[in-house]
Amino acid sequence: MIKITFPDGSVREYEAGVTGRQIAEGISARLAQDVVACGVNGETVELNRPINVDATINLYKFDDEEGKHAFWHTSAHLLAEALQELYPGIQFGFGPAIENGFFYDVLLPDGSMLKEGDFKQIEDKMLELARKDEPVVRREISKADCLAMFKADGQSYKCEHIEQDLEDGTITTYTQGAFTDLCKGPHIVSTGIIKAVKLMSVAGAFWRGDATRDQMQRIYGISYPKKKMLDEYLAMLEEAKKRDHRKIGKEMELFMFSERVGKGLPIWLPKGTDLRLRLQEMLRRIQKKYGYQEVITPNIGGKNLYMTSGHWDHYGKDSFQPIHTPEEDEEYLLKPMNCPHHCEVYANKPRSYKELPFRCAEFGTVYRYEQSGELHGLTRVRCFTQDDAHIFCRPDQVKDEFIKVMEIIQRVFATFNFTDDNVEVQISLRDKNDTEKYIGSDEDWATAEQAIIDACAEKGMKARVEYGEAAFYGPKLDFMVKDAIGRRWQLGTIQVDYQLPQRFQLEYVGEDNQKHRPVMIHRAPFGSMERFCAVLIEHTAGKFPLWLTPDQVAILPVSEKYVDYSAKIKEYFDAHDVRSYIDDRNEKIGRKIRDNEIRHTPYLLVVGEKEQAEGTVSYRRQGGGEQGTMKFEDFANKINEEVRNMTENC
């Protein structure tokens, strides 16, 4: 007999070899019908995998992230199975589950290209195969047998993967119907529960992401256990198109890109710059209360700086190539990180324990060379500004400082209505099975990881643990924000680092008059100004809070006779911190109202003969809400009072 521990802490005994499905059936028939995978001692496995030792277990439904991953992983194989039938001789690359669905990289045998017009036929074949309810069979296989099998099938990319990446004794395959794939899993146990599929797009993808290798086609898809769920997802995508930050950013004249300037290099236009500076000033007000000091560091640094920090070894391939200075035989890099510069700020003078914590903040612009195919609006760019700060503190101060940073991030998120309902917190730890890719001692890592876990416990913050997601120099706490249509974005982050102080030989003189090594905490509540603005645009659909929006008021004269009166109002507003503009186009007032609604201006002021005679404005809230008439001086006071009420806690 073995003991199975459930998430609520309860323990039951079962015969060795029991499966997750049998455990679910023993609880209820409905549960057995709903679960798609199970977690055994933290590893997601198939429901028919025997459990032979004492274990903790989780039963995952499709709604669970782990359940979706298994469901979509099998759906990727179902796509490949359908393609294999429709296009004999097709070559397969990799086909994983992703955050929303799955993809498969393929190469047609005759060099032809799949097009969106082919999707319907492929979808129909996928559903035809799914209706056969084919079991998904896992096998452990030797490297020699695996290589022979895929050579016989003519799968050259799979053979290369086997030869270069896999070790004997670690290889598993999964078979459904006539299709077999190399795979670690997990999967659902059979294809019958896949009821709805939709292929979303096709794009180019280099084999192994190497631009010098063959270009394959990457087919993206999504699948669900119910057609209604697919319909809801497609409706959500339509809403996402309306909220696309690239579309709204253009309509509101917030930012732009220029091919001549370069791909992935955003240019902030006046209105977008105004919005971004207000965000920065908000954070400045908050962090000033916590004792931060702001610095400005160069946008380049000597290559040796990043070799010392370890960033060159770990991120050099993702950075722009070094800038050479032949006369002085020096090399510089466009700054990929702010942290090494801040280490130099700390090292600028001797430090005493009395000066710690030293909190160093900067809105620092950094540069990363993202592949062209990965660039996407403001969310993936080659140049972005981090609301970066680094706290240098004594070991006994780490937990308290970490908690204070958590408070800052919570204040920022609360300001924009990012609440517990749409914020997920993740503790990102080392990969237990591959510690070679990290720097530092096991002892330091254990101390740093425990500090984050303790801080979350003290604040009562529910956080899921993800192994293998830590930075190379330390563990971190990541804040994932779900926007208004359910997409998840990583924004805020806090990281504990024992390694950079060691690499830069940072010191402070302790109370014992001896030299000690400080601990470094990395912190960015927004994450990057670019990504945060993109998420905020899509979360609000461009309807920003009144205190933040670039234009608070649109003044709409009903004819050119009232432009001078409109200018008088604007002059008063300018003097009283109300951001406004005049729409003096020769258009009917109804057209002006509609156009300015599209621009998401919070207040629309209509001025005509009556308003001019009485010194008033007729106002309406964006979206057809609050309406009324008042003296324009009183209206300015109304706007300022609203802003004060919104920002009193910022």
Please give the positions annotated as active site. Answer: 339, 368, 386, 388, 390, 476, 522
Sequence-distant (≥ 6) Cβ neighbours of residue 238 within 8 angstroms? none
Q: What is the DSSP letter of 461?
A: -
Distance in angstroms between the alpha carbons of the first and the last residue of the chain: 58
Parallel, antiparallel, or unpaired: how do β-strands 330-334 and 323-325 relate?
Answer: antiparallel
Both tokens of residue 32? 């057995």
SS3 404: helix
Mark out the alpha helices in 290-334 (DSSP H runs): 303-309, 311-315
Q: How far apart are CA 94 and CA 255, in angstroms?
A: 36
* Residues paired with 360 in a beta bridge: 293, 390
Nearest to 520 by CA among 289, 358, 403, 408: 358
Task: DSSP for 416-442, please give it.
Answer: TT--TTTEEEEEEE--TT-GGGS-S-H
* Residues paired with 425 in a beta bridge: 479
Q: How far apart are CA 600 and CA 622, in angstroms?
A: 7
Both tokens of residue 148? 């022979």
Q: What is the DSSP letter of 108?
A: -
* Residues paired with 393 in a beta bridge: 519
SS3 50: coil
Both tokens of residue 333? 């890099």
SS3 115: coil
Q: What is the DSSP letter of 587?
A: S
Nearest to 492 by CA among 457, 461, 454: 461
Q: How far apart are CA 353 and CA 305, in angstroms?
A: 26
Do residues 566 and 607 touch, judged by C-beta distance below 8 A? yes
Q: How far apart are CA 218 and CA 196, in angstroms?
A: 20
Sequence-distant (≥ 6) Cβ neighbours of residue 37 within 8 angstroms? 20, 44, 45, 46, 47, 60, 66, 67, 69, 70, 71, 186, 187, 188
Q: Residue 191 burial (CB < 10 Å; 0-12/13-18/19+)?
A: buried
Q: How far apart are CA 293 and CA 389, in angstroms?
A: 9
Any idea of the CA torsion for 525, 531, 537, 540, to the nearest 10 degrees? -40
Do residues 216 and 230 touch, judged by C-beta distance below 8 A? no
Residue 465 corresponds to which amino acid? V
